[in-house]
Structure 1
Amino acid sequence: MTDRDEPLDPGRFGVSPERGFLPDEAPPTSFEGDDPFLARLDELGRDLPALLERGDLAAAVRDLDPPSADRYDDLTDRELERVYGVTGFLANAYVNGAGGNVVPEGVAVPLYESTRRLDRTPVLSYDAYVLHNWTRADHGRGFAPHDVRTITNFVEARDEQWFVAVHVAIEATAGPALAAIGDAQAGILDDDPRQVETALRTMEDSLYDLIGVLDRMPEHNHPETYGRGFRPYLMALTDVAFEGVPEMEGRHSFRGASGAQSSVFPALDAAIGVDQGDNPLVTHLRELRADMPTEHKAFVEAAAAGPDLHDYVAETDDDRLREAFNEVVDRMVRFRKLHVEVVRRYLTEPFGERKGTGGTPHGPFLEMFIDNTEAMRIEG
């Protein structure tokens, strides 16, 4: 069998219809046990906004004394994720907040050792800032933004909590659409147009809900607080040295945390066959895949390698199937148009920004994404 003869199995990649790319278990909000270094990380993560506000962060970070490298061998993946998350926040806050160009040893060593074991880039990326940075309110059972709380944040303002909560909700809401990719591909292999149609309807419903979630961003996130309050801490680390990490000699540059590092729309594009061509934005987005968790990158690749959904629908004389496919395309177009509006509201109009937080060169290229997606419609 070739790869294209196999439907996508989301479970193989840790993807579920209930949570999408979010972890199956809620991320830990603190470390267990009495390890003094991990306990200190908990304190710094909890107190980060106050430390930044008082100007005390730099001294607190420089005072950290990390354990030996082999200590990290005893940690579970969930504990490593938390080490990565807290030290990623601290590194960004230290460099982008205090204006330094060296990550002190007490943060650099655990950041490197945790990400090395997790096969991640040693910088605060979308997975640490969003995918593993949430808990739910006591009464909350779902992933609506008002039910989501951050574990770690840079500022006290509710705006940052809401910003992350909306992204967490988007990830969870995308779960049914991501799982339906496998159902659609299985239907193609069985030549079962009704199964394919059902999967497409699931994708459409999920995308409809995604639009509703993104549309809530302005409710509690003001552009000024975003642009001047917490976004500066998310920016790229440029020409930074990692103190105490011999494997990282010299200086290194890393992209900032960005929603462009989410795997949701790369997976949906791959599933319906959207070709975004070659332009600076596409090149940059391909580079951003290096910052995605390994399983998520593999999911996107598997979605692209599976049976061709667009061609199957185009080659059948089935009005219902074609209508369902086109409605998925229309929902993706609407989401992308709304995203352009969000970029204008939060970056272009108030600050004249032409690049996203991760360095993404948006401008006219986001409009091209809309056009390329719309071009996937199948006319009868």
Structure 2
Amino acid sequence: MIATTTSPTDLLPVPVLEDYDVSPVTGFVPHDQPLSRLPQAYFQPWEETMDQLNHLIDSRQLRAKVDQWPVLDVAQLTTLRERQRAYVVLGFVAHSYIWGSGLDVSQHIPEPLAVPWVAVSDILDIAPVLTYASNDLWNWKLKDPKGPFELENLETLATMTGTKDEDWFDIVSVAIEIAAGPAFKALIDAIHAVREDNIRTVIECLHLAHVHLDKVSKLLPRMFENCNPAVFYWKIRKYLAGSEGTANLGLFNGLQYNGVNNNNERRHYMGATAGQSSVFPALDYFFGVTHHDLDNQSGHKSAPNALLLKMRGFMPAPHRAFLDHLAQTANLRPYVLSKTANDDPEGQDVKELISIYDACVHCIKLFRDNHIQIVTRYILTQAKRGPPEGWEDYRVKVEDQPLAVAKVEEEKSKTEEKAKEVEEGAGMKGTGGSDLMPFLKGNRDETNAAKIVTPVKK
């Protein structure tokens, strides 16, 4: 019996979700709704700008307004939710300031924006860039405060384009996060049951988790309902870009944060991406899915995947800590394998355990299948088609920036050289900087390989 032998995963207490700002109901999304505005009058310059954000972007007045902000002290923020709201506001304004004035990409953000943004980011222990946390986790509300935490009852607090497409793009992600919440509660209970070698309780917990993971796998295709791929690629996507690997967009050497550390340092951060969600790293730990880097020359794989680890640095600090704790206590896969090896593999309980375990893994695999389809339609297809006629091109206006001409031409040359690769989905970058298709297909295939019963490739 497993209970008679102490394993490494038994040495630490099982994580308590609430200790890491994770809700058993809404997962990594705050169960108490994010603040829709800061309550202190002191921060009204920020909130007034947010009230007018779409108009200020469209009228090209945002930069002039932000340049006139006072430099506000984030010590006036007294609660976690206030700090998260400030981080959302400053991130939205910053990325609108950088990318939102047509063809003129700003190489800096001014002191009244940079100084408090870096300060509140330091307090929250998260990078001063638009992240998945600021764009999604902390940027939503219930339409009916007494209604359910479901997609139809959710909407964003803010968007940068003012389009229903951006609202839907963000809120589908929030709905996915929320749908996963109860699965985490069931899987934590399963870890406890494994420690007690209670196979029936483990099975029951996995059945409950499967109900919610099935919902998760079916939500992503709903993106097509209200988010037009062309609107996403040509109007929304640029706002998600960070300051790393964005020379082709006109941000050539990172971003200058005026007034920070008295040296106006330039910083390089990846942009907001769903890869910064904690949901799937957590599920990977629960089910023992491992992701590798592939050496294209030798063909050898090595774990862990460096890009996935890099993305973790852009998650909220409590969620990173949860993943670290979970990595040391997850025990489901070793338990299922031990039952397969040591107990009667034809016994009803063992067969049911393997079946429901693989069913849960299959839900994760299906989600990753759907993610590949989304990326194909929303990024690869759009990149090949080019912008619809009459739509503004937000790339840098080189005739107004002579020093940038050579760099733009160099990037253009690289793009042309990779044209054939783009046709196949290779070489295209996500907003987080990943080579999209190899990265996503690798994650999907490694998930499928985690099934106990030899998976059939489809």
Give yes or no for TM over 0.5: yes
Q: 1:242: which partner in 2?
A: 257
How far apart are the structure 1 equivalents of 2:432 and 2:90? Answer: 18
Q: Does 1:27 align with 2:27?
A: no
Q: Does 1:265 align with 2:280?
A: yes
- Answer whether contact 1:211 1:335 (CA < 8 A) is retained: yes
How far apart are the structure 2 equivalents of 1:33 and 1:297? Answer: 30
Q: What CA deviation, in whole Å up to 9, does each residue of 1:175-229 have, x standing for no partner?
A: 0112222111101100001111112112211111012211110111001111111
**Aligned equivalent of 1:15, options 14, 18, 22:** 22
Q: 2:409: which partner in 1?
A: none
Shift of 1:7: 2.6
**Aligned equivalent of 1:314, options 337, 356, 372:** 337
How far apart are the structure 2 equivalents of 1:16 and 1:85? Answer: 20
Change (3 A) 1:247 1:290: farther
Change (3 A) 1:232 1:74: closer
Query: Larger Cα Rg: Structure 1 or Structure 2?
Result: 2
Give the SS at the match of 1:135: strand
Q: 1:358: which partner in 2?
A: 432
Shift of 1:73: 5.0
How far apart are the structure 1 equivalents of 2:317 and 2:368? Answer: 25
Shift of 1:54: 0.8
Specify which structure has the higher proportion of helix. 1
Q: 1:329: which partner in 2?
A: 361
**Aligned equivalent of 1:62, options 42, 61, 67:** 67
Q: Does 1:4 align with 2:27?
A: no
Q: Does 1:285 align with 2:317?
A: no
Q: 2:132: which partner in 1?
A: 126
How far apart are the structure 1 equivalents of 2:77 and 2:143? Answer: 31
Shift of 1:33: 3.3
How far apart are the structure 2 equivalents of 1:274 and 1:115? Answer: 31
Task: Read off the aligned partner of 2:196 and give its amino acid letter.
Answer: D
Q: 2:97: which partner in 1?
A: 94
Shift of 1:248: 6.5
Q: Does 1:301 align with 2:301?
A: no
Shift of 1:3: 6.0
- The gaps in structure 1 that reach 5 residues or longer are none
Structure 1 residues 186-195 or 138-147, which shifts more? 138-147
**Aligned equivalent of 2:184, options 178, 181, 184:** 178
Q: Does 1:208 align with 2:211?
A: no
Give the SS at the match of 2:94: helix
Shift of 1:138: 2.8
- Answer whether contact 1:72 1:113 (CA < 8 A) is retained: no
Give the SS at the match of 1:15: coil
The TM-score normalised by the length of structure 2 is 0.78
Q: What CA deviation, in whole Å up to 9, does each residue of 1:84-104 have, x standing for no partner?
A: 111111111111224111110
Shift of 1:364: 2.2
Q: How many residues align?
A: 376
How far apart are the structure 1 equivalents of 2:122 and 2:145? Answer: 36
Q: Does 1:253 align with 2:276?
A: no
Q: Does 1:375 align with 2:378?
A: no
- Answer whether contact 1:8 1:181 (CA < 8 A) is retained: no
Shift of 1:379: 2.6
Shift of 1:8: 3.0
The TM-score normalised by the length of structure 1 is 0.94
Q: 2:82: which partner in 1?
A: 79
Task: Read off the aligned partner of 1:368 and give its amino acid letter.
Answer: G
% identical aligned pairs: 32
How far apart are the structure 2 equivalents of 1:21 and 1:307? Answer: 18
Shift of 1:24: 2.6
Q: 1:341: which partner in 2?
A: 373
Change (3 A) 1:260 1:179: same
Task: Read off the aligned partner of 1:116 and give its amino acid letter.
Answer: D
Shift of 1:261: 0.2
- The gaps in structure 2 that reach 5 residues or longer are 1-5, 245-253, 296-303, 340-344, 385-421, 423-427
